[in-house]
């Protein structure tokens, strides 16, 4: 612990010194920095009467809070981006609905990017909160220039949808375009052998095939059909357009320019930004000479809400919300991963905390290490035995993500949540051809037949593959048994719906893998009911970040950036070719996260991405 503190402090000092040198900050700059840190405490936005909350749809929305280290690193590197948690978005929208000072919400879709960081399930929950806001008699206005399907899915809920005259919108259905690495691996001499269970376990296909298998194509098509059906139904209901008409638009037009979008009823007005601002000035009773309308940014309003909620709701009865977001890995993992050991300790602590009366496990994970999932699931089960544990599935809760969810009081998912994928696989790489082609060879001396089974110097023999297959079969059967017991389903039925197949949330409910359609708020309310808390409870979120970073910086990073003159909204645009290179980088990154000690994984297909 002492070494950790020394290294942390040394790193901190070094980073600050580097920042000062880089920016040419003098003693005066240092004093300004310290002043900014001190001044950042207890700063709340001023919310004026008849204000509109501005919701920038391009900002990053995640389940968990970023660590202080992540925020600091982004600031120092100049790559910071606006981000907020889903929980804060929902709380802010709910508070705005009840806040007499707030008269409307402005959905700003002028910058694209929502599709890169959030899925349809999370958008579904935000959309529901916006619907409730409208139902309270308040206005929602959406304005965009180039709407993607995700941005429009959210924006279509508005009273008034406005598109720039030179703008366009994408209504062309959904697609998934997996990337296959088989040819590249063969070209470079990397051997791949796979052991798996389940005919739908498509996670290994990018390594052994050059196109989708019939089974994988079938399950992907069904998933896309379900998500697209929900999109057409939801958007159609808001815009009073028949879902069949939306399908016809997707099949025949795909990209609608502003006039066509208005003719087809997808937007209400075709206008420029200044015209939208003029109307919002009227809504907020702003002076026409003012530069803009009376407004408050969603992130700032969320900070205001967070403080007011803490004041409103204070209770010794806690509902713990545990965010399992990212790859499931063996060990502790980093901030963007679900480390089995780290999360097991969290549940162990929660279980022994008498003030925690119920737990909501929020899962947004494609799975990963089977060993890590089992370590975590054991603690979840033990916690479930002494207090309610309710699962809320986000955009994806598949394979290992479903493993940790299986033993709980109740499972909530959105209709478009990706879940299931109950299957197991192992990947065995070897570099024999690569090495031999470059003049490298190996030899071996051993005392038993299988002493060198772990080698990457050669492919595995049929006998060795049989050993791995037995291990995979055993873990798969364990997975089936856990689901059967946790979901109270016959093992034969679980075996039929498993096979590594992925399901949408609505399909998962039909087959018994999910109990109820609903989001994080619904799960929290159910947990409070199960614990018989009434309205006497308060949320407590996990994982909790290091208090060291918080005590040193708190909310000061944004103010520090302003003082240094390096703050500024960065609009990221990605060229199609660059996007494919990033996809490849993500594929390779997935392999780096594969650290299961047995080499066995319960994971979603690596490159399943709905576009």
Q: Active-site residues: which are they?
A: 201, 399
β-pair type (191-197, 600-603): unpaired
φ, ψ for residue 575, nearest 5 deg: -70, 150
Q: From CA 303, how far away is CA 502, in angstroms rounded?
A: 37
Sign for the CA dihedral angle at 147, 93, 336, 194 comes to: negative
Dihedral of the alpha carbons of 477, 478, 480, 486, in degrees to the nearest 10: 160
CB neighbour list of residue 377: distance below 8 Å, 6 or more residues apart? 403, 404, 406, 407, 482
Q: From CA 140, how far away is CA 159, in angstroms rounded?
A: 5
Q: Please name which of 503, 502, 485 lies closest in space to residue 494, comparing C-alpha atoms.
A: 485
Give whole-number Cα distances, 548 to 12, 69, 70, 160, in Å: 11, 10, 14, 46
CB neighbour list of residue 509: distance below 8 Å, 6 or more residues apart? 413, 515, 516, 517
3-class SS of residue 146: strand
Residue pair 147/155 in contact (Cβ under 8 Å)? The answer is yes
Q: From CA 1, how far away is CA 505, in angstroms rounded?
A: 44
Dihedral of the alpha carbons of 560, 562, 565, 566, in degrees to the nearest 10: 80
Q: From CA 551, how far away is CA 556, in angstroms rounded?
A: 10
Query: Using DSSP, how many helices (H) and how many strands (E) does the chain show?
Result: 25, 23
Sign for the CA dihedral angle at 444, 450, 455, 456 comes to: positive
φ, ψ for residue 161, nearest 5 deg: -110, 120
Q: From CA 410, how far away is CA 38, in angstroms rounded?
A: 45
> Rounded to the nearest 10 degrees, what angle do helices 243-252 and 214-239 cross at?
120
Q: Please name which of 601, 590, 80, 91 lies closest in space to residue 336, comparing C-alpha atoms.
A: 590
Other CB atoms within 10 Å distance of the CB of residue 159: 13
């Amino acid at each position: 612990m002492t070494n950790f503190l020394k290294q942390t402090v040394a790193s901190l000092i070094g980073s600050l010194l580097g920042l000062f040198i880089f920016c040419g900050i003098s003693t005066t700059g240092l004093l300004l920095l310290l002043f900014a840190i001190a001044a950042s405490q207890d700063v709340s936005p001023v919310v004026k009467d008849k204000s509109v909350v501005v919701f920038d749809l391009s900002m990053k929305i995640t389940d968990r809070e970023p660590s202080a280290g992540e925020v600091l690193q982004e600031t120092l590197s100049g790559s910071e981006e606006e981000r907020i948690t889903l929980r804060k978005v929902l709380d802010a929208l709910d508070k705005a609905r009840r806040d007499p000072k707030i008269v409307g919400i402005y959905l700003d879709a002028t910058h694209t990017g929502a599709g890169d960081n959030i899925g349809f399930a999370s958008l579904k929950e935000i959309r529901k909160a916006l619907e409730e806001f409208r139902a309270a008699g308040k206005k929602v206005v959406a304005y965009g220039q180039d709407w993607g399907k995700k941005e429009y899915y959210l924006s279509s809920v508005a009273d008034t949808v406005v598109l720039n005259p030179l703008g366009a919108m994408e209504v062309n259905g959904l697609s998934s375009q997996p990337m296959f690495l088989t040819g590249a691996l063969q070209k470079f001499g990397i051997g791949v052998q796979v052991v798996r269970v389940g005919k739908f376990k498509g996670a290994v296909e990018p390594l052994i095939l050059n196109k989708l298998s019939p089974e994988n194509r079938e399950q992907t098509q069904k998933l896309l059909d379900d998500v697209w059906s929900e999109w057409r139904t939801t958007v159609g209901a808001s815009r009073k357009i028949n879902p069949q008409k939306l399908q016809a638009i997707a099949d025949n037009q795909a990209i609608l320019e502003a006039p066509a979008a208005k003719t087809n009823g997808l937007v209400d007005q075709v206008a420029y930004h200044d015209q939208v601002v003029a109307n919002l000035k009227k809504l907020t009773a702003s002076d026409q000479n003012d530069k803009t309308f009376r407004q408050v940014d969603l992130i700032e309003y969320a900070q205001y809400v967070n403080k007011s909620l803490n004041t409103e709701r204070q209770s010794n009865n806690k509902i713990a919300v545990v965010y399992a977001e990212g790859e499931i890995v063996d060990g502790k993992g980093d901030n963007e991963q679900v480390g089995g050991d780290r999360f097991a300790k969290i549940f162990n602590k929660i279980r022994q905390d008498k003030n925690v009366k119920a737990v909501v496990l929020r899962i947004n994970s494609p799975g990963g290490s089977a060993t890590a999932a089992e370590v975590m699931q054991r603690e979840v089960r033990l916690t479930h035995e002494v207090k309610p544990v309710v699962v809320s599935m986000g955009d994806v809760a598949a394979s290992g993500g479903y493993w940790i969810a299986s033993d709980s009081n109740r499972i909530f998912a959105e209709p478009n949540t990706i879940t299931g994928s109950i299957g197991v696989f192992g990947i065995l790489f070897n570099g024999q051809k690569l090495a031999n082609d470059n003049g490298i060879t190996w030899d071996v001396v051993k005392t038993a037949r299988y002493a060198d089974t772990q080698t990457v110097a050669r492919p595995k023999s049929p006998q060795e593959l049989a050993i791995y297959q037995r291990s995979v079969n055993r873990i798969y059967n364990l997975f089936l048994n856990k689901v059967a017991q946790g979901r109270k389903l016959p093992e034969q039925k679980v075996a039929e719906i498993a096979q590594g197949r992925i399901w949408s949330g609505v399909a998962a409910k039909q087959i018994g893998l999910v109990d109820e359609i609903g989001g994080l708020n619904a799960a929290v309310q159910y947990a409070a009911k199960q614990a018989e808390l009434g309205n006497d409870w308060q949320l407590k979120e996990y994982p909790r970040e290091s208090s060291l970073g918080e005590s040193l910086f708190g909310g000061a990073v944004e103010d520090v950036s302003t003082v240094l003159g390096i703050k500024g909204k960065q609009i990221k645009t990605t060229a199609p070719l660059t996007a494919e290179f990033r996809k490849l980088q993500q594929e390779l990154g997935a392999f780096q996260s594969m650290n299961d000690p047995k080499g066995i994984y319960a994971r979603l297909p690596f490159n399943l991405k709905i576009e």
